[in-house]
Structure 1
Amino acid sequence: MGNINEFDEAIKVVAEDFSYLSLDLPGHGKTQVLGSDEYYKIQPTAQAIINLLDELKIDKCYLIGYSMGGRLALYLTLHFPERFIKVVLESASPGLATEAERLERIRRDAQIARKLSRSIIQTDFATFLSNWYNQPIFGYIKNHPEYDRMIESRLQNNPHELDKSLRLMGTGCQPSLWEKLQENKIPLLLLVGEYDKKFISINTEMAQLCEFCQLKIISNAGHNIHFKNTLVFVENIKDFFYAAS
């Protein structure tokens, strides 16, 4: 539900050490899909990012992704491993392992997408976001002093575009990456918040499957670690990037 400003506070801390490139995913922020709805899907989105790196003459780089962006980052890592040095996945997953799970998730995401598409006026969208952040995976995010500012940023998104993103790049729509994860040789840092029990379970299984995965559970945070506990989030990233492989 975020946009290109999602990591602004974290970037302020690391900007002296790293150059960076932030991207709005299809359906988010200012990114516009000019072709068919197929371009909202994970495969063409990943290829578009590789094309952008080629255009910018970036042969290899570090990669960070959060939630949906984390799933995309893992897809990029496993399909274009030669392009990435190390990768940080915050509250991400390799998708769903079985067809039955994917179909059920598509059904559930379609229900959420319909609610989004009905958010014609901003007050409807604000209500949707308030309900969204009531989910247990987000822990006590509503107690954060900057929560209202975060919601204001979220309200800059177009609900109809988010609807398309959820329906076409939701967890149920992407191919399972569980088997391919076992072949991974790129160092991965898996970050999950202590209140996000669902993703602790998923990422624990990921770390058990892949010897190049390092799992860190961050205290006083839920699904949105970089917002709830920015300094600890950044410290873990810098330690990981600077550590010898």
Structure 2
Amino acid sequence: MNMILRGIRYHVECFGDGFPLLLLHGFTGDSSTWTSFYDQWGKHSTVISLDVIGHGTTESPVDVEKYDILSVAKDLFELLENLKINKVDLLGYSMGGRLALTFALQYPHKVRKLILESATAGIANENEREQRRMKDHQLGEFLQENGVLTFVDYWEEIPLFTTQKRLSSDKRAQIREQRLNNKAIGLINSLKGMGTGAQPSWWEKLESVTCEVLLVTGSLDLKFCQIAEKMKGKMALCQWITVEDCGHAIHVEEPKKFGTIISEFLVQ
């Protein structure tokens, strides 16, 4: 279904029955990221999945301010208000994980359990954050000049996704087709508004997270394992699970293990 949230048309899907579970995909993804888990998670949760602004069939406004991560968190708040949901479990992957953490910090009363897959609290050092912001803007300029096809060719080859080379050709083709369905302006503005360099650093706020938290990383994704270890030490009710022989996108590379990990955390 489509839903207007603060003037933006969002694509939203609902499935299953139980305590609400809101799912947030990563950069270049969309709600189909989670479709294969609906049957499993729908047995214990009402799954709510959306295309984040600038992705999939959700609108891709020209106004970059609408992509600011705090603004997008407000969109999520309005989504829950419209659905008359007082509290959710929240799962986010990568960019969606940073958005999920942002939401949990801005609206702590709305989150029961928080699951972050391969996510970070941002960049604490201001100089490093500014350098990353500039890189994200340069990446957006590359996308604007060369188009989505060339950008996806580039994106598939970054070191973060090296382990996905082991996926079947059919699975890789499916992921590629989904990425290519995104609009250039949506991805460009997402880099500018929700990139790691654009978002505030939440490191000093992590101690205020009082809900149960689960961090999930792949053992081959060393950078995000180090980040998860650091994040775990700052949150009181935090578990961290590492999936062996797996990279950044655990839900893609080890879907059965990932699905079970999420289910067990939500029903315990």
TM-score, normalized by the shorter chain, greater than 0.5 = yes
Query: Residue 227 of structure 1 aligns with which residue?
Result: 252
1:137 aligns with 2:164: no
Counterpart residue identity of residue 123, structure 2: L
- Match status 1:3 vs 2:3: no
Deviations 1:115-145 (CA, angstroms, capped at 9, x unpaired) = 211233xxxx334323323223224202211
Deviation at 1:163, TM superposition (A): 0.8
Q: Which runs of 5+ in 1 are unaligned?
A: none
In 2, distance between residues paired with 1:17 and 1:184?
A: 24
Give the Cα separation in 1 of the matches to 2:197 and 2:139: 13
> Unaligned 5+ residue runs, structure 2?
1-27
- Match of 1:96, SS? coil
Which of the residues 177, 183, 194 maps onto 1:169? 194
Amino acid in structure 1 at the alignment position of 2:208:
E
Given the two structures, how large is their TM-score scaled by the length of structure 2? 0.85
Partner of 1:98 in structure 2? Answer: 125
In structure 2, the partner of 1:115 is 142
Say if 2:41 and 2:47, in contact at 8 Å, map to a contact too. no
Residue aligning to 2:149:
126
Q: Which letter maps to 1:130?
A: D
Q: Please state whether the residue corresponding to 2:48 is helix, strand or coil.
A: coil
Greater RCO, CA 8 A, separation 6+: 1
The aligned counterpart of 2:185 is: 160
TM value normalised by structure 1: 0.93
* Corresponding position of 1:84: 111
Aligned pairs for 1:56-71 (under 5 A) are 56-71=83-98
| 2:87–2:111 CA contact under 8 A, matched in 1 | yes
Following TM superposition, by how much is the alpha carbon of 1:35 offset from its aligned partner in structure 2, in angstroms? 7.6
Whole-angstrom CA distance in 1 between matches of 2:32 and 2:237: 30
Supply the RMSD in Å over aligned alpha carbons.
1.5
> Is structure 2 residue 166 aligned with structure 1 residue 148?
no
CA offset at residue 81 of structure 1? 1.0
- C-alpha contact 1:192 1:216 (8 A) present in aligned 2: yes
Q: Comparing both structures, which one devotes a greater share of its residues to strand?
A: 2
Cα deviation, 1:46-79, whole Å, max 9, x if unaligned, reads 0111011011100011111011110000011111
Partners of 1:178 and 1:240 lie apart in 2 by: 24
1:25 positional shift: 1.2
**Distance in 2 separating the partners of 1:34 and 1:202:** 32
- 1:85 aligned counterpart, secondary structure: strand
Are residues 1:29 and 2:46 paired? Answer: no
Deviation of 1:41 after TM superposition, in Å, equals: 0.6
Amino acid of the structure 1 residue aligned with 2:250: I
What's the counterpart of residue 12 of structure 2?
none
Q: Percent identity, aligned pairs only? A: 36
Q: Is the deviation greater in 125-134 or in 159-168?
A: 125-134
What is the SS of the residue equivalent to 2:135?
Answer: helix
How far is the alpha carbon of 1:33 from its aligned partner?
A: 4.7
Residues 133, 142 of structure 1: 8 Å contact kept: no
